[in-house]
Structure 1
């Protein structure tokens, strides 16, 4: 067998794929169907109006099937620039925007422009596992950054953990996996810390459209010098259900995007044309629909919190956007408990051990539940099943 890249070989396998293997050979009884809480992606297709528009794009617009600009369709870049400028009360220009094949590619590209093997990046724990995987595959050290009881990253700890090799700190808000929404002041303090170190803040706002707070998420873009520090990430997978069409965005200084263009040209040549056109159509036509989606997610958040917070011995650590992050009271570690939940309670969840460094004792008591695809009735059933977990474990 030819040699393997050692960085890739040492990287953990994809957690969602591992969780799906727990389903192998199982049949779920009709009275207790599977409730899948493992993946934070919409399972429904885009709304019908968008699907009709997409069909016309495929049928009537020949450039849908061709290569396009490496950094994305100019109309979509311009639309994002002015809409984000209005949302954040700042100045974002079209040349600050690059379109990527999903937000994971935006993150990977951002990191490639910032760091090289031997460098380090601060990641709050629990972390989004694909972020950790990319750093591992790139030979970049992920420095675990602790969070407080609200699941907010600890600013003082970040300053203490900073080393001369640290090139960036990464924040995800609303957070995957905890659902925590970071206050504007905290985000801005992390940006100030990164600026003081001559480093970057990589801010992933994939779940921004499902925040509980209606006000502006932060004031970073009001700073005319935001380009010196901030790299901003976004995804259309969640907002318009374009998961299979891989459309994300990276907002950064034009000089950095010129370097990103080298990466993106080599990897994808251009972002998918149908996804870009669909995102542009959605921005122009689905404002009210997206508002109703947010309302539904907030209803499900409330139902999830009610179901989980009433369980004796359980503790809700975070709940927001698509996620609830909980601490369980049972003696089994979460990586052993989760396969048992599938087999005996028809609940597919992810253990906290998938979101933390190996050996993290707290993670063994934690679970992530992605509830965005489960209605209020299903979330009530979730609470009922978990209430009986003690008998199963016993």
Structure 2
């Protein structure tokens, strides 16, 4: 029998893939098709102009098929630096941007520069499961930070969890899985805490394009020494529907970029060229289209909040970006409820147990609904099925 890395064996299997396995042997009649709200990903391909630009690059640009710079194509790094500097009223240079194979790889790269086996990283709960999985695989302890009733974490509570082994605090805003949009003052509080204790603050803003607030959600990049504390993560997957092309970004100090480059060169050499070309083209040409995408997601958010408010016994704790985090009214754990909803109501969502420490009672009481995958008619159908469900 082959040897097995115990750190890898100790973490759980990918939750979305686990949920897909529940579909085995099931069928759904045309009059009541499956409502799949399990994965936070666009279900449509990129818009036609973007696909055409990528196809033209594939046909006409030889470099689209070759290795590129480990830290990303210069034009995309420059575009991110310029756009983020304007959006956050800060000063970000292209050399402080790296392009990664999706945002998950950006997170892995950031953690790899900060922590080693035996160290600790603070994660608010409910947490994004892939963050927890990567920490497990590295032998790094994920320290859970329970959020308040508004699903926003408190810097003062985080400070109580800091030990000599703590390396970083990780925040996701707008949040996956809760949908909560962290106030600017909360983010500033965590930034100041991290600075005062010599820690890194990793801020994942994958869903920044779908924040309901106008203007910059924080002013952290306006701090001239932001690179001493902050590592920012982003994904092009949601904004431009580039999920299959795996294009993400990490913004960090030049000193950290030296270390990030080592990691990226080892695990992938570089992000895919065609995806990077598409992301740069999208940034330059799809501003109005992206505004329309945001408006549609916000409309779905409003439909979700309104529909859930009318469901007896259900209580939404957070709702934003692609997600609702909801407390269910049933006398069963969410791990059982999710599978029964699939079999009996044709609804696939993820149980809260997939986003919480093992055995945490809050996980058993909640579910994550990735409502961005359903249009407003689909959300209305979801409400009817949840209301009719009688376990």
Q: Same fold (TM over 0.5)?
A: yes
**1:187-266 alignment to 2 at 5 Å?**
187-266=187-266
Match of 1:324 in 2: 324
Question: Alpha-carbon deviations, 1:281-301, whole Å to 9, x = none?
Answer: 000000000000000000100
| Displacement after TM superposition at 1:88 (Å) | 0.2
Equivalent-residue separation in structure 1 for 2:79 and 2:54 (angstroms):
18
Question: Alpha-carbon deviations, 1:344-393, whole Å to 9, x = none?
Answer: 0000000000000011101101000001120101101111110112x2x1
Match of 2:87 in 1: 87
What is the DSSP-based 3-state SS (H/G/I as helix, E as strand, rest coil) of the residue aligned with 1:164? coil
Equivalent-residue separation in structure 2 for 1:309 and 1:118 (angstroms):
44
Larger mean CA deviation between 22-31 and 137-146 belongs to 22-31
Equivalent-residue separation in structure 2 for 1:133 and 1:241 (angstroms):
25
What is the DSSP-based 3-state SS (H/G/I as helix, E as strand, rest coil) of the residue aligned with 1:4? coil
Equivalent-residue separation in structure 1 for 2:59 and 2:31 (angstroms):
44
| Displacement after TM superposition at 1:154 (Å) | 2.1
Match of 2:339 in 1: 339
Equivalent-residue separation in structure 1 for 2:69 and 2:249 (angstroms):
14
Equivalent-residue separation in structure 1 for 2:131 and 2:44 (angstroms):
25
| Displacement after TM superposition at 1:102 (Å) | 0.3
Match of 1:174 in 2: 174
What is the DSSP-based 3-state SS (H/G/I as helix, E as strand, rest coil) of the residue aligned with 1:372? helix
**1:294-333 alignment to 2 at 5 Å?**
294-333=294-333
Runs of 4 or more consecutive aligned structure 1 residues displaced over 3 Å after TM superposition: none
Residue 185, structure 1, aligned to residue 194, structure 2: no
| Displacement after TM superposition at 1:155 (Å) | 1.7
Equivalent-residue separation in structure 2 for 1:281 and 1:363 (angstroms):
41
Residue 108, structure 1, aligned to residue 108, structure 2: yes
Match of 2:118 in 1: 118
Equivalent-residue separation in structure 2 for 1:369 and 1:181 (angstroms):
16
Match of 2:350 in 1: 350
Equivalent-residue separation in structure 2 for 1:29 and 1:340 (angstroms):
17
| Displacement after TM superposition at 1:242 (Å) | 0.3
Question: Alpha-carbon deviations, 1:12-50, whole Å to 9, x = none?
Answer: 000000000111100112221100000001110000000
Match of 1:52 in 2: 52
What is the DSSP-based 3-state SS (H/G/I as helix, E as strand, rest coil) of the residue aligned with 2:122? strand
Where structure 2 has 5 or more consecutive residues not aligned to the other structure, the ranges are none
| Displacement after TM superposition at 1:236 (Å) | 0.2
Match of 1:366 in 2: 366
The count of corresponding residues between Structure 1 and Structure 2 is 391
Match of 1:158 in 2: 158
Where structure 1 has 5 or more consecutive residues not aligned to the other structure, the ranges are none
| Displacement after TM superposition at 1:193 (Å) | 0.4
| Displacement after TM superposition at 1:122 (Å) | 0.2
Equivalent-residue separation in structure 1 for 2:216 and 2:337 (angstroms):
39
What is the DSSP-based 3-state SS (H/G/I as helix, E as strand, rest coil) of the residue aligned with 2:373? coil
TM-score, normalised relative to structure 2: 0.99
What is the DSSP-based 3-state SS (H/G/I as helix, E as strand, rest coil) of the residue aligned with 2:382? helix
Equivalent-residue separation in structure 2 for 1:194 and 1:11 (angstroms):
27
TM-score, normalised relative to structure 1: 0.99
CA RMSD of aligned residues (A): 0.6
Question: Alpha-carbon deviations, 1:142-171, whole Å to 9, x = none?
Answer: 000010010001222100011110000000
Equivalent-residue separation in structure 2 for 1:309 and 1:8 (angstroms):
41
Equivalent-residue separation in structure 1 for 2:14 and 2:308 (angstroms):
27
Match of 2:5 in 1: 5
Q: Is the 8 A contact 2:69 2:270 kept in 1?
A: yes
| Displacement after TM superposition at 1:174 (Å) | 0.2
Equivalent-residue separation in structure 2 for 1:361 and 1:256 (angstroms):
38
Equivalent-residue separation in structure 1 for 2:93 and 2:70 (angstroms):
17
Match of 2:276 in 1: 276
Equivalent-residue separation in structure 2 for 1:34 and 1:209 (angstroms):
28
